[in-house]
Structure 1
Amino acid sequence: MSRIQTGSFQGMKLLNKSTILNTIRLHSPISRAEIAKKTKLTPATVTNIVTELINENLVCESKVGTSQGGRKPILLTINNRDSFIVGVDVGGHTVRAVVTNLSATIQARDEITLPSPLTKDELLKQIVLVIQAVMTKSKINKDKIIGIGIGMHGVVDHLEGIAIFAPNFQLRQIPIKKHLEAQFQIPVYVENDVRAFTLGETWFGNGKGIDNLICINIGVGIGAGIILNDQLFHGQNGIAGEIGHVIVDINGRKCSCGSYGCLQTIAGGEVLRERALESEQNQELLKKAHNDPNAINGALIYQCAKEGDPLSLQLLADTGRYIGVGVINLIHLINPTRIIIGGGVAKAGDYVLAPLREVVKERALTAQARETEILQSKLGDDGTMIGAATLVLKHLFNPHITL
């Protein structure tokens, strides 16, 4: 991501431009005079920059406002007709992509299942294919695509756009940004999938307006994205938020990371399925699965829980309690205002969240900690894709400023 030097004329102009664009995003429809008032910029500066934004198809004139004396003002909004973004979720088994407008409204979507085993070249090829497919489905001219965002599982260097380690593929040093920019000639931004999901919730979901926030994604693994003082937190080497590898039992089961007793060895989608298969009370689940053990998954367990199956209810409640232990640790470490739970397991809603909240109320350190808000993701399955698109929006609306 480029840094804007505020000591230069060009830097100040870019800063003013992003300020005006963000003001329109947050307060539209809005007049030029109102923008000048909110930003403390001169009317001439606002007029000149708005003209540039209109010419760049980022802003459009929408309607005439109410006059306060004199001519009626022309109101401005974000241009959702002429600028679009591709958001991609590179998961453990699939690559999913959407095309959105600048308000994150989905215009088209596509998905592919990844082959196994997978090489770096094959993975990059599959990502290219799904981007090409979703752009074709959208019927939007490539010239209107202003950026591509990638939410990638594992450890990511978000500055260089490299997947340092993708554990589900056992691949390292994947040059995603370099490869895709060469392929499409469009700016590409890459982030860890859970951090992308967190950014999406911050802009368009249940994290709006929250300066200190944690989003937890519970799927095959468990990860957390952390917002501190309104900034996405990466840590020194980009591994902040790996809550799935917080050790909760030093004598516990071996984890895929090589350690023992990690949180995701007792909670998460894979363990939920394993417990269902191991139980002697799984007759109802097997019946629903037509006696095919491979058909037992989180979605089926949730369905059976809704129908009152005791084992399914117990499995989801246990998962909620185990996740609750990790949540308490995060509350005591970070002290967030709100925690958002997403991912496949979170689809079970209060079957998981109610016991999770109970554990927090029972074991958190202070009365305020016990009242930490815990909500389900608003963006659901689309969270990482919307978040990936938001990576582009973040660069557009809030470029990194060097003070």
Structure 2
Amino acid sequence: MNVYMVVDIGGSKYISGFVSDDGQILYQERKEWTKTSVEAIVEQLIASLRGVCATRPELAEQAKAGGVTIPGIADPATGVWVESDFLLVKNLPICERLSMEFKIPFFADNDGNACALAEKYFGSAKEDRDFLYMTVSTGIGGALILDDELYYGEYGHAGEIGMLVVEEQGRFSDTGSVQGNVEMYASGRGLRDNYVAASGIDKISNQPVDGKVISELAAKGDLVALEALALEGDYLGRILANAYSFAKVEKIIIGGGVALMFERFKPNLLKEFFRIHPEAQVIIEVTSLGYSGAFLGAAAVARRGCEAVELKSMGRQGQTVLRFSIGDEVGTALEVDDKVLASTHCENNNFLIARALSDSGATLRQMLKEEERQKDLREFGKGIGKAVACGCVLFDPGKVIIEGEGTSDESFRSSLEAAVIEETYYRGKLPFAIEYRGC
């Protein structure tokens, strides 16, 4: 049995311990940060791992490698913690520091990516070659397994499903880079904000309202809490449906702290998803790993490192192109070094174009069939632009190619590009080129 020394890093806590290569948690300790300067973080992680080694020396002796989950951006090829969502860390060579201390190789990855790997190695996705993992907690993140491998995108930012827009001109994201993204409406914070906005109550018995409180209130029949959870399902169902329009995965797995309430919002999630994709052949389920997904993710990262899987810096997998073909149908394809990893065509591309959750919206397929909309190239360009934005956030391409009817029209192009800028988090500085190819 191989043993991995692992640490799951969070914004307020960290969990250290040992996991076997078949996903058994052998030992773990949870601690809160006492200081959050970069050096203090490293010192606390080292002290914690020393502590678990002292407590379980027999496991420490068996440890073949170490794994780290990062709350933010990590470079899996170099083991560098690039930056963080909640901690002021920049370009920290965390794996090098830990390897020097414990004399074993360490490997790191973003926590969403790590959770997806954990599902592949230890969870319910062992037999699935294509699946989407979404974590719903303080924030919303995600990751894609395509053709049996973790998909990173051109710049290592693929799968950031929490940045997909569900409300035009809605709440600003934490960085202010986009408005109306689903993270601001359906994360743990978003769920709370929805409840507070509807009830005017932000404390109960002098305790701040949070997801746990809302779940307890719903169990007692509180109508506002029930409505907040219904909205949770609606938001997540819609955003998953739009992601599915590009990646026809076999399975969608939902993890994170809010997933512990899955049964309460599941009916609305499934109703909205299958309203948009009534013929979809996909399993949507909650993680089988429970609250331990990220901790087991650290072990999955270590196991992958030991398997000598080749990783390019920042996860780059080659030249990544997102292609849209517009004619009697709208087709999409994700190509990496000319290999198609995901594709769809109009018959099953029901990408929903809607300005808000309350808007039932129209699909790209419907827009093509409605003559008046087809004549209005500016409106059609906006619809395609929304789809392009969604595909870019999901797939993180290096280039977007749009080909076919109407693409040479300036009003189509300008409205498309305006929608892409508005509904992505790049602050208008798109990292990819948009190339138009007319008929």
- TM bin (shorter chain): 0.7 to 0.9
- Number of the residue aligned with 1:172: 90
Q: Which among 263, 271, 283 is matched to residue 350 of structure 1?
A: 263
- Number of the residue aligned with 1:275: 194
1:88 aligns with 2:7: yes
1:249 aligns with 2:170: no
Tell me the distance in 2 between the aligned counterparts of 1:146 and 1:152: 20
- Structure 2 residue identity aligned to 1:380: G
Give the count of matched residue pairs: 311
Could you say if the C-alpha distance between residues 328 and 272 of structure 1 is closer, same or farther in structure 2, counting changes exceeding 3 Å?
Answer: same
Q: Which among 318, 333, 337 is matched to residue 231 of structure 2?
A: 318
Q: Between the two proteins, what is the percent identity of the paired residues?
A: 25
1:191 aligns with 2:191: no
Could you say if the C-alpha distance between residues 170 and 263 of structure 1 is closer, same or farther in structure 2, counting changes exceeding 3 Å?
Answer: farther
Kindly state the Cα deviation for residue 389 of structure 1 after the two structures are TM-superposed: 0.4
1:375 aligns with 2:282: no
- Number of the residue aligned with 1:213: 131
- Structure 2 residue identity aligned to 1:303: E
Tell me the distance in 2 between the aligned counterparts of 1:143 and 1:384: 24
Q: Which among 328, 335, 359 is matched to residue 272 of structure 2?
A: 359
Kindly state the Cα deviation for residue 142 of structure 1 after the two structures are TM-superposed: 2.7
Tell me the distance in 1 between the aligned counterparts of 2:139 and 2:123: 22
Tell me the distance in 1 between the aligned counterparts of 2:124 and 2:290: 11
Could you say if the C-alpha distance between residues 134 and 316 of structure 1 is closer, same or farther in structure 2, counting changes exceeding 3 Å?
Answer: farther
Tell me the distance in 1 between the aligned counterparts of 2:269 and 2:156: 27
Give the conservation status (yes or no) of the 8 Å contact 1:346–1:352: no
Q: Which among 206, 209, 213 is matched to residue 292 of structure 1?
A: 206
Kindly state the Cα deviation for residue 160 of structure 1 after the two structures are TM-superposed: 0.8
Give the conservation status (yes or no) of the 8 Å contact 2:132–2:249: yes
Secondary structure, counterpart of 2:199 in structure 1: coil
Alignment of 1:102-141 (within 5 A): 102-115=21-34, 118-141=36-59
- Structure 1 residue identity aligned to 2:206: D
Q: Which among 166, 174, 185 is matched to residue 266 of structure 1?
A: 185
- TM-score, normalised to structure 1, is 0.73
- Cα deviation code 1:2-48 (max 9, x no counterpart): xxxxxxxxxxxxxxxxxxxxxxxxxxxxxxxxxxxxxxxxxxxxxxx
Compute the RMSD of aligned alpha carbons. 2.1
Q: Which among 312, 327, 339 is matched to residue 240 of structure 2?
A: 327
- Number of the residue aligned with 1:336: 249
Kindly state the Cα deviation for residue 281 of structure 1 after the two structures are TM-superposed: 6.6
Secondary structure, counterpart of 1:333 in structure 2: coil
Secondary structure, counterpart of 2:30 in structure 1: strand
Q: Which among 355, 369, 384 is matched to residue 294 of structure 2?
A: 384
Kindly state the Cα deviation for residue 139 of structure 1 after the two structures are TM-superposed: 4.0
- Cα deviation code 1:78-103 (max 9, x no counterpart): x3xxx411222111211112311222
Kindly state the Cα deviation for residue 184 of structure 1 after the two structures are TM-superposed: 1.2
Could you say if the C-alpha distance between residues 335 and 141 of structure 1 is closer, same or farther in structure 2, counting changes exceeding 3 Å?
Answer: closer
| Farther off after superposition, 315-324 or 244-253 | 244-253
Tell me the distance in 1 between the aligned counterparts of 2:47 and 2:231: 40
Secondary structure, counterpart of 2:171 in structure 1: coil
Alignment of 1:2-151 (within 5 A): 79=1, 83-115=2-34, 118-151=36-69
- Cα deviation code 1:99-118 (max 9, x no counterpart): 112222111111111246x2
Could you say if the C-alpha distance between residues 193 and 277 of structure 1 is closer, same or farther in structure 2, counting changes exceeding 3 Å?
Answer: same
- TM-score, normalised to structure 2, is 0.67
- Cα deviation code 1:189-238 (max 9, x no counterpart): 00010111111111111111000011100011111110000000111111
Kindly state the Cα deviation for residue 386 of structure 1 after the two structures are TM-superposed: 0.8
- Number of the residue aligned with 1:25: none
Could you say if the C-alpha distance between residues 135 and 277 of structure 1 is closer, same or farther in structure 2, counting changes exceeding 3 Å?
Answer: farther
- Number of the residue aligned with 2:146: 228
- Structure 1 residue identity aligned to 2:7: V
Tell me the distance in 1 between the aligned counterparts of 2:217 and 2:158: 36
Give the conservation status (yes or no) of the 8 Å contact 2:4–2:302: yes
Q: Which runs of 5+ in 1 are unaligned?
A: 1-78
Kindly state the Cα deviation for residue 399 of structure 1 after the two structures are TM-superposed: 3.8
Could you say if the C-alpha distance between residues 304 and 154 of structure 1 is closer, same or farther in structure 2, counting changes exceeding 3 Å?
Answer: same
Kindly state the Cα deviation for residue 248 of structure 1 after the two structures are TM-superposed: 2.7
Give the conservation status (yes or no) of the 8 Å contact 1:157–1:191: yes
Could you say if the C-alpha distance between residues 124 and 239 of structure 1 is closer, same or farther in structure 2, counting changes exceeding 3 Å?
Answer: same
